[in-house]
Chain A
Amino acid sequence: MSPPTEPKLPAGWDLVVGLEVHVELDTATKLFCGCINRFGAEPNTNVCPTCLGLPGSLPVINERAVELAMILGRALGCQVNRSVMARKNYFYPDMPKDFQTTQYDQPTNSDGQLVLPDGFVVGIERAHIEEDTGKSVHVGRSGRINQAVYSLIDYNRAGVPLVEIVSKPDIRTIDQARNFVDELRAILVVTGVSDARMEEGSLRIDANVSVRPEGLAELRTRCEIKNINSLRSLGRAIAYEANRQIDLYEDGSAPQQQTRHWDENTSRTTPGRSKEDADDYRYFQEPDLVPLVPSPATIAAIDETMPQLPVARRAALVAATGADSVAARILVERAQDALALEAVAAGAEPNKVLKRLVNDLAVDDWSNLDATALAELIKMESAGALSASQAKQVLADLVESGGTPQTYVKRRGFEVVDTSELKSLLEQLVGDNPSEWKRFCAGDQVERKKMQGFFTGQIMKATRGKADGKMVAELLNNAALVG
């Protein structure tokens, strides 16, 4: 997977980026009610008085959501605080209460950091808990609310628990921005906090972008870029926005602080609200909920049960298998690193293990495959008992139905005919077909090739295809040299 071409900034300018990442927590139910938290259900089926904001309804916080938020906080090295929920007041049709219950001046997690795979450290300002809104589809004209002919609203997502991770403006390159999201996603998956699927909207990114003359320490006016739907868009949106700002400065003007929308079709950012008509959210403490006060014992328990984080898992995999960084990242992301480690520990050749897993195990469910079976398979492959394509097929069988590789090798008739058997078979064939053999040994290139095909075909016929083609070719050539 080669990264998209890195857009270049003009010389003399530094990029300053901070990211705000919204992540849907992987809970069974919503943040304040018992409705199911699931993507893709029929619209408005997972709703109740509370997540519809009906009059008289009250929120009750989902303790698992708070726990997941704290787990993420600790994974990011944050301080976990006594926190309070707050109301962020603004009108929007897909927000049932016309306020969002979130955290403001007292977030659950603060002051952490995320270390990128290359060692670069990005500070984490905060990671706070909030509820998601519903989803609007504005039908007609521009697809934006005020030109819509009508709008459809699905409240299934309303009240889904989110954590918003706010980085410090420490990011200096587009690669770092992408690596930040990649690494965060790996942490979310490993800790079970979120499935972090950008394509399903369970991970969403806003980027705060500013530029400054190279070498200066000041922070200049930033623009917040919304509507970034993929890692690829993230890079392109940052690059576009940085260049736009640089152009303004170079023309003697300056950017205004504003929210801008990334438009995937035109590859541009366009202004949303500017600061003058920015909403005043009138934050205040949510009176329907009580402060969240984690006990030191709770935090200690989270630390004790914290799974090994991606950075450590990649390091362990590299140390034990000599994996390169791409393979290490892929296998840890897929949580196949433990399988690789066990197979290698059971004596399988590391290179082949990595190659098989990286290339042939990009599947959702591989629970049928155990490390012992994998190790056996790789050993057979290393010993030449299975060809690469046969090993692939047997691996697919193991993923499909479990068991041992021997079962499938037998079932598929992959038992290899060994060299001595092949040798005697060849001797017999030479004796039976002397003229053909002569043509093979003494013929020109074309003739030789033709006769190689003849003998290989005869051997395959006699072994019902079980002979290793490579081995047969080798035998034929060696025998020809001898005469």
Chain B
Amino acid sequence: MTAADIAAAVRSGERSALEVVNEHLGMIEAQDLKVHAFNLVNAENARAEAAQIDARVAAGEPVGPLAGVPLATKDNLCTKDLPTTCSSKMLENYHPPYDATVVSLLRAAGAVSLGKTNLDEFAMGSSTEHSAFGPTRNPHDLSRVPGGSSGGSAASVAAGFTPIAVGSDTGGSIRQPAAFCGVVGMKPTYGAVSRYGLIAFASSLDQVGPLASNVADAAAVFDVIAGHDRRDTTSIQGFIPAAQAALNLGVDGLRVGVLQELSGGGGSVPGLAVDVLARTREAAEVLAAAGARVEEVSVPSCTLGLSAYYIVAPAEASSNLARYDGVRYGARVDAPTASEMTTATRTAGFGAEVKRRIMLGTYALSAGYYEAFYGKALKVRTMMLNDFARVYKDFDVLLTPTAPTTAFELGTRMTDPLTMYVNDVCTIPSNLTGHPAISVPFGLGDDNLPVGVQVLAPATHDTQTFRVAAVLEAAAQEARL
């Protein structure tokens, strides 16, 4: 059942929210030992919230657009009085005193969070293997990774544990796992969704977004969570989401650019798998057949994105993660002096990938290296913004693969961070520019695993990404029939 079906059934009284929640909790209980999508299943709270919704329905009171819809919440979004761990030993027993804005908005809309989903520690990774609590597995093939860092949220949707989920996307952390798990995942325009209560990885890149089994449900979640929040200074004033309204507009007359550097065209980045490229080309053909004007387009600075990202994101992370010092909350390893205590705490509390990025970022910001690294990365960012602005004069949206390959096997990239980082090559540009992008499942790879294609749009044109994704989704479903 889709989220829309559940909400309609709950609203009409045809099904009780409690029944829906219990059914999904049952699935989790039966199957999550294998998948490990969840760090925490919060059955008691979920049942209580579902019962409240049922009471409102029974009393004829209004319920939200997501009434009774089971939701999975990435474990880096703060939930009041419930553990919020970032899949790190550092925050293993941390209970925030407040809810993230996104968590509050979803609850107000009637969604019922069943629990907190696994992620790469502090959202740093592309496979959910960098979790202090063990990896999540891809429900399509348990020997494969679900992608990351929102691997738990993507796996929850793919396994049918919850029809919808929320994740965070700093360099592709919603879209890449969505592609690997065969679900829809969307990164909104930077500032479209409040970051208040999202535990920061890289503040200028982080954005909360929806994952869902279908485009309409993702749009419904987006419409709930997007909008200005006065507690987040970087949130866009006056932003009013209207993704659902655009789902049936089609793409007739839309100008679509196939971004050649990320799609195997001239000057393309290496390492893009043949099957993934083939699906991307087929997607372009589908859009052309539906009336879009499709052309190849070049954004040369795209190829610099990966390098710039792996300077900017670790630099911000090195600062954002400094607060985990053992003084106020979270893990503490005692030692004779305050600075030794902080060192011991951080040594024990952080995993290898987090430490690697803190060191990279610290180095990139250091006196004498700032200009060569961080300063240059900022210039690349500006260059990319200019390049995309130029391209968007002639195009409404751009098309690329979401990830270079389908889901890879667990353990195959853990020893080589660079090949792991290359996973983000197609998704990173949207984070560096702050633009919206969606990944929508489009066929299978040679290994019969899902392939995702990505639709990019200029800032605040989030609706366009849903609109194009809806057309691709319909074509993919038709092809499967």
Contact = CB atoms under 8 A, between A and B. Distances in A.
Interface of A: 49, 52-61, 87, 89, 91, 93, 96-99, 145-146, 148, 151, 153, 280, 282-284, 287-290
A277 to B, nearest CB: 13
B378 to A, nearest CB: 9
A49 B323 contact: no
B393 interface: no
Contact of A288 (B86, B197, B233, B366): B233
B386 interface: no
B261 interface: no
A5 to B, nearest CB: 41
Contacts of A290: 233-234
Given A55-B78, A61-B233, A96 B338 contact: no
Contacts of B202: 287
A204 to B, nearest CB: 22
Contact of A91 (B94, B196, B316, B342): B342
B374 interface: yes
B390 interface: no
Nearest to B365: A282
Interface string B332-374: 0000011100100000000000000000001001110010001
A60 B318 CA distance: 22
Given A58-B232, A60-B230, A288-B233, A146 B338 contact: yes
Contacts of B307: none
Nearest to B364: A282
B444 to A, nearest CB: 37
Given A58-B232, A288-B203, A282 B338 contact: no
B200 A56 contact: yes
A324 B325 CA distance: 56
A47 to B, nearest CB: 10
B428 interface: no
B329 interface: yes
A296 B286 CA distance: 53
Contacts of A57: 196-197
Contacts of A146: 337-339
A287 B342 CA distance: 25
A182 to B, nearest CB: 36
B238 interface: no
B84 interface: yes
Nearest to A85: B233
B98 A49 contact: yes
A54 B96 contact: yes
A293 to B, nearest CB: 13
Given A89-B365, A99-B322, A55 B91 contact: yes
A290 B327 CA distance: 29
In the A-B complex, list the 5 residue pairs whose CB atoms are closest, starting with the nearest: A98-B322, A282-B365, A287-B204, A287-B203, A55-B199
A55 B325 contact: no
30 contacts: A52-B328, A53-B323, A55-B78, A55-B96, A56-B76, A56-B78, A56-B96, A56-B200, A57-B196, A58-B231, A58-B233, A60-B230, A87-B319, A89-B322, A91-B322, A91-B339, A97-B323, A98-B323, A145-B337, A146-B339, A280-B367, A282-B318, A282-B362, A282-B370, A284-B315, A287-B316, A289-B233, A289-B234, A290-B233, A290-B234
B137 interface: no
Most buried by A among B78, B97, B338: B338
A52 B196 CA distance: 15
A60 B231 contact: yes
Most buried by A among B198, B230, B234, B323: B323
A88 to B, nearest CB: 10
Interface in B81-139: 84, 86, 91, 94, 96-98, 100
B196 A58 contact: yes
Contact of A153 (B76, B327, B365): B327
A61 B234 CA distance: 11
B328 to A, nearest CB: 7
Contacts of B195: 58
Given A153-B327, A290-B234, A284 B203 contact: no
Nearest to A146: B337
B368 to A, nearest CB: 9
Contacts of B338: 93, 145-146, 148, 151
A373 to B, nearest CB: 49
A151 B328 CA distance: 12
Contacts of B337: 145-146
Nearest to A278: B367
Nearest to A60: B233
Contacts of B322: 89, 91, 97-99
A55 B84 contact: yes
A54 B329 contact: yes
A56 B197 CA distance: 4
A56 B198 contact: yes
Contacts of B200: 55-56, 288
B319 A93 contact: no
A408 B348 CA distance: 75
Contacts of A55: 78, 84, 86, 91, 94, 96, 199-200, 323
A55 B321 CA distance: 9
B325 A284 contact: no
Given A55-B91, A96-B328, A282 B319 contact: yes
B430 to A, nearest CB: 17
B203 to A, nearest CB: 4
Contacts of B339: 91, 146
A56 B342 CA distance: 20
A93 B327 contact: yes
B351 to A, nearest CB: 17
Given A91-B325, A99-B322, A287-B316, A56 B196 contact: yes
B196 A99 contact: no
Contacts of A288: 200, 203, 233-234
Interface in B369-396: 370, 374
Given A99-B319, A288-B203, A282 B342 contact: no
Interface string B195-224: 111111011100000000000000000000
A54 B197 CA distance: 9
Most buried by B among A59, A87, A288, A290: A288
Contacts of A151: 338
A287 B202 CA distance: 9
Nearest to B329: A54
Most buried by A among B100, B232, B233: B233
A431 B204 CA distance: 102
Contacts of A284: 315-316, 319, 365, 370, 374
Nearest to A55: B199
Contacts of B323: 53, 55, 96-98
Nearest to A94: B327
Nearest to B198: A56
A156 to B, nearest CB: 14
Contacts of A283: 365
Contacts of B367: 280, 282
Nearest to B86: A55
A93 B325 contact: yes
Contacts of B366: 280, 282
A56 B199 contact: yes
Nearest to A286: B203
A91 B374 CA distance: 21
Contacts of B230: 60
B149 to A, nearest CB: 16
A93 B325 CA distance: 8
Most buried by B among A96, A148, A284: A284
Nearest to A52: B328
Contacts of B365: 89, 282-284
